[in-house]
Structure 1
Amino acid sequence: MTNDTVLWEIDRRGVATVTLNRPKVNNAYNGDLIQGLHDAMDALGKEEHLRIVVLRGNGKHFQAGADLSWITGVADQSPAENDRVSRLTAEAIRRLDTCPVPTLALIQGGCFGGGTGIAAACDVVVASEDAIFSISETRWGLMAGIILPQLCQAMSFRQVRRYALTGERFGAAEACRLGLVHEVCPTGGLDDVGKRIVESVLMNAPRATTATKLRSLASARAFVDDGELRDLIEEHARTRQQPEAREGLASFREKRKPSWYPG
C-alpha cells in the first residue's frame, strides 16, 4: 500500500516495512509525510498477523527533520492551525513509541531533528557507518519538545543536555555510545543486519513480546500521558510562531548566520 510520501507493505510473515519517501528533500517531513505515517499505522494496525515494523528512508538519507520551507508557511498561519500541526506530529511519535509490536529503524545518511525522534521512539535502531545525527531545532529558533521524552529515554537526560542545546552533529559510533543507536554496520549493510534482527523477533511469541514491550514502557515510566502531550504540543506550536523562529528560518533561506550570532 502507498501514500505518496510514505510507502508501506507487509509480507506473509507479518513483517511490515514503512518507508519515508521524499528523497528529493532528504525525506524532510511536512504535513503530507506526517499524515502518511498516520495512514501507515492505521492500515498496519488492522493487520492481525503483524509482528514487526521496519522503518526506512528512501535515498541517501534516513530523515532530515522538518521541511523548513513548509514550517515557515505553517508559522504564518493561525495559532489553532499551528496547534493542529504540532498535535499530528506529536501523536505520530507517540503512536510509534507505543506500537504494540517491535519497531526497527534502519538509518543511513542524515538523521536530523525529528529523525532523531523517530529513532528514539523505535525499539531497535541500526545505523550504517555513514549515518550522521543532530538534534538541530534550536539552530532555527525552534525546539524539539515533542521528541524530548523519547530522546531522554534513549540517550539519557545528561546527553540530551549537550546535544539538544548545542545542535552538534555526531556520527554513528557516537550515537551508539550514547544509546540512541544499538548497532553500527558497514555502509550498505543495513539489509543484512535488519534481516537478522527480524528473524530474532519472529522466533519469539507474539503476545509475550507485546506484553514485554508495554510493561517495559510502564516500568521505565516512559509513557507520555495526555496531559504531558498537551503541554508539549502547546509549547511546540507557540515556539514556531516566535520572532526567533522567524529569524532562524530566514537565516536558513538566506544561507547566513542568524542575528543572535555575536559580531
Structure 2
Amino acid sequence: MSDSPVLWSLDERGVATVTLNRPEVNNAYDAGLIQGLLTAMDELGKQPQLRVAVLKGHGKHFQVGADLKWINGVRMQSPAANEAASQATFEAVQRLNRLPIPTVALVQGGCFGGGTGVIAACDIVIAADNAVFSITEVRWGLTAAIIIPQLCDAIGVRQVRRYALTGERFSAQEARRIGLVHEVVPLDELEAAGAKVVEQLLANAPGALTETKAQAMESSFGGMGVDDATYARLVRMHAAKRQSAEAKEGLASFAEKRAADWRHGR
C-alpha cells in the first residue's frame, strides 16, 4: 500500500473508496492527512461517473482524532497559522458533509475526536462490534467546535451535552443507540455489510439520490442550516482554544503520560 496519507480509487460502477492511511499513528490527522482528504475529494469531483463514496481507515483503527504532537506544534505558531489549521480541518469535514453523492463510512477500532465528526458528516455509518467512540477534545484542553454542528445533527444536542463534556468512551452498540452509527456487525463482516449498502444505493436513481440528500441537508443544523458567519466564528474559537493555557497543559499531560492539572486557570 502507498505511503500517501489518504488513498482513493474508483471502480467501474462509480464507487470510490477513500482510505485514511496513517496506520502507524492509528490514522490520527495532521496537515498531510487533511490535505490528502481535500485532494481526494477534488480529484473524485472531476469523475463524471462517481456514484458513491466509501470511507475507511487502514489498520486496527478507523481514526483516532488529531495527532496531538502535530497539534502542539501548531499551537506554538501564530494565531493566523492556528486559524489556517482549523479552517483546513473544517473544510475537510464540511466538504465531506456536503458531497452531492451518498457516503458510507466503515468503522473499526477507535473512532475518537475528529473521527466522530467525520462519521457524523457521512450519510451511512456501519461499525464493527469492536469499535469504540469518544469525543475527546476536552481531555486535552481543546474544544470540538468545528464538528459540533455535525454531531448535533447525528446524535442530538442532549447526547452531545453528555459525550462532548465527559469525553468518555462508549461502545458500538451505544453509538447505534444514540444515532452515531446505523448498524453494528462483527468485524469480519464489516466489508460485506458495506458492500450490501453500496449495492442498495447503486440500485437507485443518481439524480434522485442527489436531490434527496440536498433536501435533507436543507433542514439540518450541521449541513446547510449553519451560515458561513457562524462557521467562521467556530473556526476562530477552535483555533483560539488551541493556544490557551488549558490546551498547553492538556497537551503536556498527553506528552508526559500524566493526569492534567487544571488548577491554574485558563
Question: One fold, TM greater than 0.5?
Answer: yes
User: Is 9-18 or 253-262 further displaced after alignment?
Assistant: 253-262
Q: Number of residue pairs matched?
A: 262
What does residue 41 of structure 2 align with? 41
Give the distance between the partners of 2:219 and 2:160, measured in 1 at CA.
Answer: 21
Shift of 1:101: 0.1
**Which residue is equivalent to 2:180?**
180
Distance 1:239 1:220 in 2: 26
| Alpha-carbon offset, residue 261 of structure 1 | 7.2
Say whether the 8 Å CA contact 1:176–1:184 is kept in structure 2: yes
In the alignment, which residue of structure 1 is the partner of 2:56? 56
Q: How does 1:222-261 map to 2 (within 5 A)?
A: 222-223=223-224, 224-260=226-262
Separation (CA, whole Å) in 1 of partners of 2:230 and 2:72:
26
| SS of equivalent to 2:187 | coil
Q: How does the TM-score come out when normalised to structure 2? A: 0.96
Deviations 1:186-223 (A, max 9, x none): 12211110010000000000011000001101023431
Superposed CA offset, 1:66-108 (max 9, x none)? 0000000000000000000000000111100010000000000
Q: CA deviation at 1:109?
A: 0.1
- Identity, in percent, stands at 60
Task: Give the Cα–Cα distance (whole angstroms) in 2 for the partners of residues 169 and 193 of structure 1.
Answer: 24
Structure 2: give runs of 5+ residues left out of the alignment. Answer: none
How do 1:1-263 and structure 2 match up within 5 A?
A: 4-221=4-221, 222-223=223-224, 224-260=226-262
- With the length of structure 1 as denominator, give the TM-score of the two structures: 0.97
In the TM superposition, residue 3 of structure 1 has moved relative to its aligned partner by 7.5
Tell me, what secondary structure is at the counterpart of 1:54?
A: strand
Tell me how far 1:260 sits from its aligned partner.
1.8
Distance change (3 Å), C-alpha of 1:261 and 1:12: farther
Counterpart-to-counterpart distance in 2, 1:228 and 1:203: 37
CA distance in 2: counterparts of 1:57 and 1:151, whole angstroms = 20
Q: Is the 8 A contact 1:3 1:36 kept in 2?
A: no
| Structure 1 residue identity aligned to 2:250 | G
Does the residue aligned with 2:188 lie in a helix, a strand or coil? coil
1:132 and 1:261 map into 2 onto residues whose CA distance is 30
Is the contact between residue 107 and residue 127 of structure 1 (CA under 8 Å) also seen in structure 2? yes
Deviation of the 1:225 alpha carbon: 2.5
Residue aligned with 2:253, SS? helix
Structure 1 unaligned spans of 5+: none
Q: 1:231 to 1:152 in 2, by over 3 A?
A: same
For 1:203, the aligned partner's letter is A
Letter in 2 for 1:257: A
Q: In structure 2, what residue type is equivalent to 1:117?
A: G
Please state how far the C-alpha of 1:2 moved relative to its aligned partner. 6.8
The letter for the 2-side match of 1:34 is I
What CA distance in whole angstroms lies between the structure 2 residues aligned with 1:3 and 1:214? 35
**1:11-59, Cα deviation, whole Å (9 max, x unpaired):** 0100000000000000000000000000000000011010010000000
Change (3 A) 1:209 1:2: farther
CA distance in 2, matches of 1:139, 1:188: 32
Shift of 1:226: 1.4
Q: 1:176 to 1:37 in 2, by over 3 A?
A: same
Measure, in 2, the Cα distance between the counterparts of 1:3 and 1:210. 33
